[in-house]
Amino acid sequence: MSLALNIVDLAVEAAEKENGGRLSGIEIEVGALSGVMVDSLEFCLEAAARTTKAEGATFSIVSKAACGKCTDCGIDFAATSFYQHCPGCNGIGVQITGGRDLKVTAITIEEESPDV
Amino acid sequence: MCDSCGCDSSSDPVTISKPGSHFHGHGHPHDHSHDHDHVHVQSRTVRVEQDVLAHNQAISEKNRAYFAEHGIFAMNLVSSPGSGKTTLLEKTITDLKHEVLMSVIEGDQQTARDADRIDATGVPVVQVNTGSGCHLDGTMIANAIAKLEPEDRSVLFIENVGNLVCPALFDLGESAKVVIISVTEGEDKPEKYPYMFRAARLCLINKIDLLPHLDFDVAACREFAARVNPELEFIEVSARTGEGMGQWYAWLKSRLPVDGHAG
Ligand SMILES: [Zn+2]
């Protein structure tokens, strides 16, 4: 739950810096190896947004595939776990180079208008 | 993640919900569309690129620097509810308190019950209530340290909220995560919660005195865990009978600063 609250806080903060309007959309990037369960996160976000400027906002969760790099043969590949063998040389010298992040990547703000 | 961690969403929407006049959500939590091409004329989309955990990470690095400076070995104890974590901690403190300087930060959602048990052992303890939060974070630890003022060259136990999901994602600045599972749980725990087992340095398998009455397969459990984290160490213990506890104490003492401790 607190991850969802953190996300809403970050988005609301970012909106304050813009024009302080209501948030109608929040885009979140979830790395495949971030440890975050997307289903549960979605569920929590809606609750976390209540009574904030992000109440009722649409959450777009973009999954980002993870990638690894082999330190033996140097190839880059799509990673599915922290401990996998290199698909090129079957070595174990594998570094995860991406797909661990959890980020708020974009927000959609309602511009202030007289009838709000 | 709330679904799986016990803190969960079922209580939160009830307590924080106060629908405003502009709320146009629908009753179903999963009923959102996954693109926003249909934005209003007055809407504007801004790229932000904010890392959600960066703030916590920055504070936890400060905690880590503080621990290093003061020679404090901070352990983040994580487990599911019912693993016997508090009992294990009580026993550890009771057995080691004349040899090792120790203090405790107790994390719990609502109660101070565990903190009271630790307090009875005579070591300094600070309670952090996380409310609906399902884990401790860097800020809570920073505030707790300020109150607790752990002694230089001591061991600090941080008893995290009973949950194996969220605590794995939040660094506290600790020196090591120790995951505690008991043989009354399934041996597939490491497979269900790979992030925690990956983040941990040591796994204590507790309540081994009950093994004769259960069909818990210790070897299988260790194998599952080794698959997610080949470097994970294991110690099998019973906090109740004391079996294996000596090995755990040896592990703990081997982590202390070389020139530390009267013992
Ligand atoms: Zn390779």
- Print pLDDT tens along chain B (263 aa): 333 333 333 332 222 122 222 333 333 444 444 444 444 447 889 999 889 989 899 999 999 999 999 999 999 999 999 999 999 999 999 999 999 999 999 998 888 889 999 999 999 999 998 887 788 999 999 999 999 999 999 999 999 998 888 888 899 999 999 999 999 999 999 988 888 999 999 999 999 999 999 999 999 999 989 888 889 999 999 999 999 999 999 999 999 876 544 43
Q: Amino acid identity of A71?
A: T
Q: What is the pLDDT of residue B256?
A: 84
Minimum distance, in Å, between the CA of residue B106 and any CA atom of chain A: 19
Closest CB to A47 among B17, B46, B53: B17
Q: What is the pLDDT of residue A112?
A: 61
Minimum distance, in Å, between the CA of residue A93 and any CA atom of chain B: 13
Buried b (16+ CB within 10 A) or exposed e, B23-62: eebeeebeebeeebeeeeeebeeeebebebbebbeebbee
The pLDDT tens digits for A41-82 are 888 899 999 999 999 999 999 999 999 999 889 999 998 887
Q: What is the pLDDT of residue A21?
A: 84
* d(C-alpha A42, C-alpha A48), whole Å: 10
Q: Which of A2, A23, A24 to mutate to test the interface with B (most CBs of B within 10 A)?
A: A2
Nearest to B42 by CA among A110, A55, A21: A110
Nearest to A78 by CA among A58, A57, A64: A64
Minimum distance, in Å, between the CA of residue A75 and any CA atom of chain B: 23
* d(C-alpha B204, C-alpha B114), whole Å: 19
Please state whether the predicted TM-score (pTM) of the whole model is above 0.90: no
Nearest to B158 by CA among B54, B55, B72: B72
Minimum distance, in Å, between the CA of residue B207 and any CA atom of chain A: 28
Q: Which of B3, B11, B26, B46 to mutate to test the interface with A (most CBs of A within 10 A)?
A: B46
Q: Chain B contacts of A60, Cβ < 8 Å?
A: 34-36
Q: Where are the beta strands (DSSP E) in B109-227?
A: 125-129, 155-159, 176-182, 202-206
Tell whether B35 is within 8 A of chain A (Cβ).
Answer: yes
* d(C-alpha A8, C-alpha B33), whole Å: 18
pLDDT bucket at A111, cuts 50 / 70 / 90? confident
Q: Where are the beta strands (DSSP E) in chain A?
A: 23-31, 58-64, 66-70, 76-79, 94-98, 102-110
Q: What is the ipTM of this complex?
A: 0.79
Q: Chain A contacts of B25, Cβ < 8 Å?
A: 46, 55-56
Q: Where are the beta strands (DSSP E) in B55-196?
A: 73-79, 102-108, 125-129, 155-159, 176-182
pLDDT bucket at A114, cuts 50 / 70 / 90? low
Provide the token pair at A102: 């959890």
* d(C-alpha B125, C-alpha B106), whole Å: 7
Contact A55 B40 (CB under 8 A): no
* d(C-alpha B155, C-alpha B118), whole Å: 14
Tell whether B28 is within 8 A of chain A (Cβ).
Answer: no
- CA B20 to chain CA centroid, Å, is 35
Q: Where are the beta strands (DSSP E) in chain B?
A: 43-51, 73-79, 102-108, 125-129, 155-159, 176-182, 202-206, 233-236
pLDDT bucket at A18, cuts 50 / 70 / 90? confident
Provide the token pair at A37: 């369960």
* d(C-alpha A78, C-alpha B171), whole Å: 26
Contact B48 A104 (CB under 8 A): yes
Q: What is the pLDDT of residue B11?
A: 31
CB B232 within 8 A of CB B197: yes
Q: Which of A29, A46, A84 to mutate to test the interface with B (most CBs of B within 10 A)?
A: A46
* d(C-alpha B139, C-alpha B60), whole Å: 8
Look at strands A102-110 and A23-31 and give their pairing.
Answer: antiparallel
